[in-house]
Structure 1
Amino acid sequence: MESISQELLFFSELAKGITAQFGENCEVVIHDWSKPYESTIVAIEHGHVTGRNVGDPGTNLGLEIMRGTSDGDNRHNYVTQTVDGRILRSTSMYVKNNEGTIIGAVCINFDITDLMMAEKTLQSLTASGLQPIRESFVSNVNELLDTLLQETQEIIGRPPALMSKEDKIRLIQLLDQKGAFLIKKSGEKICSYLGISKFTLYNYLEESKSSDDIGGSKE
């Protein structure tokens, strides 16, 4: 376990209790947002569920909250999927300090893949009220950026080589809303992906912010 703030120390102990109660299929992760986003995980129990370790990054959901494009409300009982196709039932709870600022997160990921295989007899446990949310579990922050690029390209509906200037501005706007520019050196990768210079990237980013101020978000 990395050095952890006093506010989050209790939750690292709570994580041990939760995983002891629910077994090997239950992962509990403690994120400290005072750390760089590429290494926010300061404690993790049963990290084999998502293949992550202490010192690994947060997910795209946390980036959106840090960016301010998501409300920061706790998410309970949602369904997501790991890179290797395992189905998880997840809960993400955000820890606030006395001033109401989010300083970290406690995330529970329960692997229900085997239960889903027995859906007919366990349907009430595995399917009731679950809403799919796209969340990316990665061990490298560059993989998270790759995922964000792929998601935004899917929204635009065409590869970079066929994108117009307006498409690229819209893609940059979406990346910004998802918190991509909070990732170190993300600009270089986005420039390479779109085939544009840093100067053009900054211009497009300013244009996207201007259009968002005038017309509001298109999402």
Structure 2
Amino acid sequence: MTLNLPFFRQLAKALAKQFGDNCEVVLHDLTSTDIEHSVVLVENGHVTHRAVGDGPSHVVLEAMKAMGARGSAPTDHLAYLTKTGDGRILKSSTIYIHDDTEQKITGILSINYDITSMLLAEQALKSLVANEDDKKEPESIPQNVNDLLEDLIRQSVTLVGKPVAMMTKDDKVRAIQFLNDAGAFLITKSGDKISNFFGISKYTLYSYIDVNK
């Protein structure tokens, strides 16, 4: 089943027109095998500097992982904070598009609204910029798969809480299993970069992934 691009193009244009230049609308196509170029539609791409043909975000990798796991289909994530590479704060929503059977995710519609200027007047506009994840650090939005992989690797190091040079085997296992759960190994040649980063062979890398299986 393919996405109804004319419908989503019409919807994206309407949303962007309604909310103005600060509102970006992005459509990811998950029916294609080319996951590294999942973006098929963008309105107001200047918000995150993305364009048609760009790669996935964290939520796309999560959806791809969930599509292969029973009973773990992701639910829509609404009104949460994200952060661009240049530090602007966005209020984002992620909507999962399913096929007619509701069993398979075929696409992801992302809405990102730049609220940076509003945050400068947060007290006066508090009700407008309220979000569900006030206590969470805004999630970065990568521009390409290399940025995404580097961000996931940084998250794995933060999770362990120590630099690679001080990590034990158990620490590295924990970090690599986090990367696996996050879908990092869906990215082409990610195994080479991750094994080099942690100073292990690819054989050891994959043995760490399977250690609890």
| TM-score scaled by length of structure 1 | 0.88
The code of the aligned residue for 1:30 comes to L
Shift of 1:160: 1.3
Counterpart for residue 216 of structure 1 = none
Counterpart for residue 49 of structure 2 = 51
**How many residue pairs get matched?**
206
- Map 1:138-157 onto structure 2 (within 5 A): 138-157=142-161
Cα distance in structure 1, aligned partners of 2:138 and 2:127: 22
Query: Does residue 1:33 correspond to 2:35, yes or no?
Result: no
- Map 1:111-190 onto structure 2 (within 5 A): 111-127=114-130, 129-131=132-134, 132=136, 134-190=138-194
Change in Cα spacing, 1:38 to 1:135, as seen in structure 2 (3 Å) is farther
Contact 1:40–1:55, Cα closer than 8 Å, also in 2: yes
Cα distance in structure 2, aligned partners of 1:205 and 1:24: 43
The code of the aligned residue for 1:119 comes to E
* Aligned-CA RMSD value: 1.8
Contact 2:89–2:138, Cα closer than 8 Å, also in 1: no
Contact 1:8–1:32, Cα closer than 8 Å, also in 2: no
The code of the aligned residue for 1:200 comes to T
The code of the aligned residue for 2:83 comes to Q
Shift of 1:155: 0.5
| TM-score scaled by length of structure 2 | 0.90
Change in Cα spacing, 1:6 to 1:65, as seen in structure 2 (3 Å) is closer
The residue matched to 1:107 in structure 2 has which SS?
strand
Query: Alpha-carbon deviations, 1:66-95, whole Å to 9, x = none?
Result: 212864100111111111111111110010
1:80 to 71, 82, 95: 82
Cα distance in structure 2, aligned partners of 1:157 and 1:58: 27
Contact 1:61–1:135, Cα closer than 8 Å, also in 2: no
Between the aligned residues of both structures, percent identity stands at: 44
Tell me, which stretches of 5 or more residues in structure 2 are unaligned?
none
Whose helix fraction is larger, Structure 1's or Structure 2's?
Answer: 1
The residue matched to 2:21 in structure 1 has which SS?
coil
The code of the aligned residue for 1:43 comes to L
Query: Alpha-carbon deviations, 1:101-142, whole Å to 9, x = none?
Result: 001011100001111111121111113545446433222201
